[in-house]
Structure 1
Amino acid sequence: MWIPMLSLTALPHIGGIFGGLITRKEVKTWYTTLNKPSWRPPNAAFPVVWTTLYTGMGYGSYLVWKELGGFSQDAMVPLGLYGLQLALNWAWTPIFFGAHKIKLALIELVLLSGTVAATMVSWYPISRTATLLMVPYMAWLCLATCLNYCIWRDNPDPKKDD
């Protein structure tokens, strides 16, 4: 049981590592040019927070996987929603930091938050612990959505194609 636990706990970090490569360059160049709200967390907080959140959601997915006996028919919806939210999570960084599409990233964050909420609803009858592990993630997504909105609002795109 160690291999599935470690694998599922580590899985979210894969996208986080690739996203970090994109972010690392852009945070020193493009991101510094943006108007950002005074209440935004410091840049150094983001890797720490995401490492913690990815670990919690990954372990939560393991708990659901274990409770449902692996990738069974019963696991299709709860783990399918989890996979969808993970893909949406990984997509945000290339949209925001890679393509500099602030408005599209905001829309994507709203979709991500809805998918995380659906994942949590589907997980609750299976594992309350797994669901609770997603609560800090949902809270951070609310903060991230507000931050993304303020950056979009305060940095109008001169091309208006965002």
Structure 2
Amino acid sequence: MATAVRDDRGLWKRALITVPTIVIIGSLMGYLSNSGFSNSWYANLVKPAFQPPGWAFGVVWTALYTMLGIALAAILNEPPSKDRTSALWLFFGQLALNFAWSPIFFGMRMIDVALVTIIVMLVMALAAARYFRGIRAVAGWLMLPYLAWLCLATALNYETGKLNPGADAAPLGITGA
């Protein structure tokens, strides 16, 4: 029985598009929503004890977006299939939520809405990673650090709401703010 040989010639060409696109859009969304400690509203909030230092966010997100871009390129390099289509829908859906999170949290100051957004994003990213792993194992593994960071970010989002009653511009009663 002959085994199929994987053709990765197009992977890195795709990655030269997917990586910068994801990094630039993610960075732009953070910049446009004034995310981080330069945001006076956020700077004045009480932070959870497990909050990483401010500089870590730019470094981590750049690395995570790079890994997501490579994972996406690996999946785009595979032949079309029903699983690939499902994986891509889930991936782009969670990525859209990722790009929306900073404007919701930092721009609109909606802590609870951001929490719902990040939970849905996490579930979709987990499903996308599972599909990715089935299509091309390395693509699924490349999403693991992102999933871990989303878990931390979800906890930070929740605890920030709990620690800052009255700071939420549109409370849903989730964090008690």
| TM-score normalized with structure 1 length | 0.90
Question: Residue in 2 aligned with 1:107?
Answer: 116
1:6 aligns with 2:16: yes
| Aligned equivalents of 1:111, 1:150: Cα separation in 2 | 17
Higher relative contact order (CA 8 A, sep 6+): 1
| Structure number having the greater helix percentage | 1
1:39 aligns with 2:65: no
Runs of 4+ residues over 4 Å off in structure 1: 23-26
| Aligned equivalents of 1:25, 1:151: Cα separation in 2 | 14
| Aligned equivalents of 2:141, 2:113: Cα separation in 1 | 29
CA RMSD of superposed structures (Å): 1.8
| Aligned equivalents of 1:80, 1:140: Cα separation in 2 | 21
- For the Cα contact (< 8 Å) 1:12–1:55, is it kept in 2? yes
| Aligned equivalents of 1:115, 1:161: Cα separation in 2 | 24
Amino acid at match of 1:9: V
Question: Residue in 1 aligned with 2:67?
Answer: 56
Deviations 1:59-81 (A, max 9, x none): 0011111122xxx3543211111
**Number of residue pairs matched by the alignment:** 159
Aligned runs of 1:21-100 on 2, under 5 Å? 21-24=31-34, 27-28=37-38, 29-68=40-79, 72-74=80-82, 75-100=84-109
- Structure 2: runs of 5 or more not aligned: 1-9, 172-177
- Structure 1: runs of 5 or more not aligned: none
Amino acid at match of 2:76: W
| Aligned equivalents of 1:59, 1:36: Cα separation in 2 | 33
1:144 to 140, 148, 153: 153
| Aligned equivalents of 1:62, 1:103: Cα separation in 2 | 33
- Quick one: percent identity of the two aligned structures? 37
Q: Using the TM superposition, give the Cα deviation of residue 23 of structure 1 relative to its aligned residue in structure 2, in angstroms.
A: 5.0
| Aligned equivalents of 2:168, 2:74: Cα separation in 1 | 46
